[in-house]
Structure 1
């Protein structure tokens, strides 16, 4: 701690990202990265943007990201989404940061689950936002009725993280319709790994001006290294985010990120193939874990949340790490006996299961 720190900095408890260990022959199942490469069209678009000599990099990128906004709107065209409904930013984390500052900073506290994305309370600390953490049910599901109370805004992931549980669209609509005077933010980082018949909350945007849906290209498009996120909502909500962005950084997305993101959104065949592969592997992983005595929370994400009936989660995580297999263990109330395991390739998940057989 330094005398030069501001009071805000002294009071912060920063977010701790998933570990990025440098181990040989690592099976990395701790940060929910997609195990498959991104769309070849995205890679080609990035290379094309560079050109032979990279001269394009001397020029600033489009500050508005108009092509990317159009690509997002086209992807959701069936829900009457237009570019004016879209905001783009440097990762969904940055988009969420602008959301907290621009839409969730009011006199009343905001609401979110007690077990959820741990960046939410960090944003509250950074921006001085009061919050109330509402308990999940015993099965880790979000109780929609609990959110029908006075508040300064509501945010929750769907599927929730780190549990992976999905809140049905009807329950989301109940929360949105029951809070007409508050912004409801649905953080859909993992929605693309839900069953094909499960719609995004974007389907509700045209009917509810208080709904904002945030997504990322890090997970289902395998572009975690490119850092691209977006939000979809009523143009007045989008305008608030643009005002914050243009008071912070007018050029949040570089030329390569914009080119790759547009191409990735356009390549629906690759998107469908890789998400289907992850979902199929997830089903096999759940079955294998259950055979080994794990209880697995129903997951609609590219990870599973599991606990063993007789073995300590921390000890299991340590024993796996000794075998160069990394999973996520949260030392937090209610979930300290659970492991969050990213769905990797079939080979990676088989290596995990074989290691667990040895350990158990």
Structure 2
């Protein structure tokens, strides 16, 4: 009677951060941008003609692809877009890691990587970071079926630097190397200039963090035309109409407002640097972040205790109950007021404990 259950694919799903609807909650757990997207985004939403929605969207997302290509001085053939960088990365796993050799990625990294690998039956091996959460390029020199590295790393916030990453790309000419740059705009150096030099390099970015469009889901990949063409082929064998009409217009409007983009980036970075100083004063230790979050542990108190205390006070941060990082909290950078409120609470809490 229940034989059909034997045919179900069993996977351990990715668990996203909490998304509470409480208006008075200080939400610092999912690395969202605390500021609104570019003003033109709101203008498009307010003036959008709903009658357009009776027609399918452009499957090639030409408006958005061309806007990204202009912004990064690329050809259209070098850009792929998807519904958030998660979608782009999932398509990349399906497209490029079709091998009996293991996919390599750091043992402390974006926790969706092993989920995708298991979902798509891709063999994989996690490469340990050292005690300082750093990668070593020689660890990725062995036989493999592909490599993916988040840079800056999530959840540690560390920028590995171009030299190490280029060594990895150069040492693996027969494998696609994906650099997941979801947080690169907050202070790291992008490897995008290297796509002309290495045809096995794919650079993936997102509008969710630095461009404040997490609610619209826009991700993109940049690489040589053969890699991009392969991605579109797999996408169109899976679902040709993934990005809706409104989102394509919002993304194009966002990326064309460079001045607003740079101003908002500077605000987040300034808040991050202020928060670093305050956390150090309170006895926290953390790697030097080049992202819009800080990955911190306290000198005395367990992370899980501080996590629950913050949550009870209406301040939500992220805790990962995983080996090597279970005594750390990932604290997203919010507005100046939100960060000041968190520090004020921690000041009182730590003084009493």
TM-score under structure 1 length normalisation: 0.95
Alpha-carbon displacement from aligned partner over 1:47-79 (angstroms, at most 9, x marks no partner): 34x22xx111111111001111111111111xx
Residue equivalent to 1:351: 341
For 2:25 and 2:3, how far apart are their aligned partners in 1? 41
RMSD, matched Cα: 1.2
Instruction: Return the match for 2:118 from 100, 117, 125.
Output: 125
> Which residue number corresponds to residue 90 of structure 1?
83
Task: List aligned pairs for 1:1-360, cutoff 5 A.
Answer: 4-5=4-5, 7=7, 9-10=9-10, 12-48=11-47, 50-51=48-49, 54-77=50-73, 81-194=74-187, 198-360=188-350
- Could you tell me which runs of 5 or more consecutive residues in structure 2 were left unpaired when the two chains were aligned: none
Deviates more, 1:318-327 or 1:238-247: 238-247
SS at match of 1:123: helix
Q: Does the CA-based 8 Å contact 1:296-1:307 persist in structure 2?
A: yes
Q: Which moved more, 1:222-231 or 1:235-244?
A: 235-244
CA contact (8 A) 1:8 1:126 kept: no
Unaligned 5+ residue runs, structure 1? Answer: none
Q: 2 CA distance for matches of 1:268 and 1:24? A: 30
Aligned length: 349
Instruction: Determine the C-alpha separation between the residues in 2 that align with 1:37 and 1:151.
Output: 41
What is the distance in 1 between the residues matched to 2:42 and 2:123? 42
Deviation readout 1:280-302 (Å, 9 max, x if unpaired): 00000000000000002110100
Between the aligned partners of 1:71 and 1:4, the Cα distance in structure 2 is 47
Report the CA distance between 1:23 and its aligned residue. Answer: 2.9
1:62 and 1:336 map into 2 onto residues whose CA distance is: 44
Where has structure 1 moved over 3 Å in runs of 4 or more? 2-8
* Alpha-carbon distance in 1 for matches of 2:85, 2:4: 31
